[in-house]
Structure formats: structure tokens, C-alpha cells
């Protein structure tokens, strides 16, 4: 594998692909942080590690099944003039799952039910890990397709995905800590999941929303929230 990565052309494709995998994983990091937050503090890091570790294994398996991935985009049936593929079905189910999950989390947060999660969270560890792996499979479709389009070298794809997942694992802890320190950002993160869910449903219906628009909206919202946090700190100091 090292010999393959030594050529400048392949090395450049590795760096580019790794960067794209990290960018495509931003939404996944937010979801992982929010799901792990439902567990007792002692179990959160383990849930993120196990969930993302299993997700990495599934992504590598998907990379080895490149022919199968390609067939996911082939139409399996049609509704009127609208052709539906397995990729459309997976994206639709994933988008609806995110919309439903984010809506329920917003409801629990607003109604104050999240404060009572400790008693039931211990039994939900496996479910949290399952949800992390499940939604990562949905998110990984674009990631794997991007990898296939960037290079023909499977070792490069696996290396880039592995690096990106390692960074996601490190970032998920920081994101989770930030959300815990600043509770208002949880609602913002949940709104991001709603936005991503809508984008997945739109993709399933063949109405593609450029991801650049989504990332700009997320970045702008984070910028505004950062200003709010700084202003709040300023008021505390002067008060």
C-alpha cells in the first residue's frame, strides 16, 4: 500500500479525497454527538468509538462492493415517469429518519424531558450505537460514490476513509463537549439535522440541493451562534 501512495499523483488524490471525506462527514459528526449525549457521561465516549468503528468497517465493506454500489443507482421500478433506485429508497428512509429523530429531540428538549433521560439511557446503549451505524451507512453513500469517482486505487480509498473517520471520532468528542457546555447549540445542531434530512429526501426525489448551500447555511449559523456566545461572556464579565 505504501508503494502505491508514494507517487505524487496518487498522493494528491489521497489528500483531496481525505479532505472531501472530512467535509462530507460534518453532518455525521453532529448526529453522533447528539446521539451519544443521550447516554450517561461514562458511556458517551465508548458509544462514539464503537459506533464509528463499526461504521468504518461498513464503509470499507461498501468500498469492496463497488459493483454493488454502482447497481444501487440502477432503477428498480417507476412511479409514473419517476424512476426509483435502491439509492433513492435508502436516501428517502434516511432522510425521513433524520426528520423524525430531530423533531422528537427538539420536542424533548423544549418540553424538558431530556432532563429525565438518565434512568432509561443505560438500556439504550446498543440502540444509540445501532442508530449511529445506521445513519452513517446512509451518509456514506455519497462518501463512497465520491471516493469511487476520485481514484481507481482501492488502498487510497480505504486510507482516505480511515483518516476521515479517525478525525470524525476526535471531532465528535469536541462537538459533544461544546454542545454540553452551550445548551443553546443543541437546538442549532438539531436544526442542522432537519436541514440535512430535507436534503436527503430531496435527493431521493431527484431534486439535488448543492451541498455547498447547506454547508454555507451551517457555517453562517455557527458564526451567529459564536457571536451570541461571545456577547454572553461579555455580559457576564461586565455584570
Residue 61 above 60 pLDDT? yes
Domain coverage including residue 7: 2-210
Section 28-52 average pLDDT: 84
Nearest to 104 by CA among 161, 167, 170, 34: 34
Residue 116's pLDDT is what?
A: 47
Residue 151's pLDDT is what?
A: 66
Residue 50 above 50 pLDDT? yes
Residues 232 and 4: their CA atoms lie apart, in Å, by: 51
Residue 167 in any domain: the answer is: yes
Q: What is the mean pLDDT of the chain?
A: 79
Angle (CA) 54-135-104 rounded to 5° is: 130
Residue 220 in any domain: the answer is: no
Residue 66's pLDDT is what?
A: 65
Residue 238 in any domain: the answer is: no
Residue 62 in any domain: the answer is: yes
Q: How many CB atoms are closer than 10 A to CB 145?
A: 17
Q: Are 102 and 196 in contact (CB under 8 A)?
A: no
Residue 146 in any domain: the answer is: yes
> Who contacts 168 (Cβ-Cβ below 8 Å, separation ≥6)?
22, 25, 28, 29, 32, 52
Q: Which residue has the cell 420536542?
A: 107
- In total, how many domains does the chain have? 1
Residue 182 in any domain: the answer is: yes
Residue 140's pLDDT is what?
A: 75
Residues 179 and 111: their CA atoms lie apart, in Å, by: 18
Q: What is the pLDDT of residues 143-153, one digit of tens each?
A: 776 666 666 67
Residue 110's pLDDT is what?
A: 77
Higher pLDDT, 146 or 3: 146
Distances (CA, A) of 33 to 28, 49, 178: 9, 11, 10
Section 171-188 average pLDDT: 81
Residue 119's pLDDT is what?
A: 45
Residue 107 in any domain: the answer is: yes
Q: Give the rounded percent of residues in the chain with a pLDDT score beyond 90.
A: 0
Q: Are 69 and 144 in contact (CB under 8 A)?
A: yes
Nearest to 51 by CA among 109, 110, 137, 114: 137
Residue 6 above 50 pLDDT? yes
Residue 134's pLDDT is what?
A: 83
Q: What is the pTM of this model?
A: 0.72
Residue 224 in any domain: the answer is: no
Amino acid at each position: 500500500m505504501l508503494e502505491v501512495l508514494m507517487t505524487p499523483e496518487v498522493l494528491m488524490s489521497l489528500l483531496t479525497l481525505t479532505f472531501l471525506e472530512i467535509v462530507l462527514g460534518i453532518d455525521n459528526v453532529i448526529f453522533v454527538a447528539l446521539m451519544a449525549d443521550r447516554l450517561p457521561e461514562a458511556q458517551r465516549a465508548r458509544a462514539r468509538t464503537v459506533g464509528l468503528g463499526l461504521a468504518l468497517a461498513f464503509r470499507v465493506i461498501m468500498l469492496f462492493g463497488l459493483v454493488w454500489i454502482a447497481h444501487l443507482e440502477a432503477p428498480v421500478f417507476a412511479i409514473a415517469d419517476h424512476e426509483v433506485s435502491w439509492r433513492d429508497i435508502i436516501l428517502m428512509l434516511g432522510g425521513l429518519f433524520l426528520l423524525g429523530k430531530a423533531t422528537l429531540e427538539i420536542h424533548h428538549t423544549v418540553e424538558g424531558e431530556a432532563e429525565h433521560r438518565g434512568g432509561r439511557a443505560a438500556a439504550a446503549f446498543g440502540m444509540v450505537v445501532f442508530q449511529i451505524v445506521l445513519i452513517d451507512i446512509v451518509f456514506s453513500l455519497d462518501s463512497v460514490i465520491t471516493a469511487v469517482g476520485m481514484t481507481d486505487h482501492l488502498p487510497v480509498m480505504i486510507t482516505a476513509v480511515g483518516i476521515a473517520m479517525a478525525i470524525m471520532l476526535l471531532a465528535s468528542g469536541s462537538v459533544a463537549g461544546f454542545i454540553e457546555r452551550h445548551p443553546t447549540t443543541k437546538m442549532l445542531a438539531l436544526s442542522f439535522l432537519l436541514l440535512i434530512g430535507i436534503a436527503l429526501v430531496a435527493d431521493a426525489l431527484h431534486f439535488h440541493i448543492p451541498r455547498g448551500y447547506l454547508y454555507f447555511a451551517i457555517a453562517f449559523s455557527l458564526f451567529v451562534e459564536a457571536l451570541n456566545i461571545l456577547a454572553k461572556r461579555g455580559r457576564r464579565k461586565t455584570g
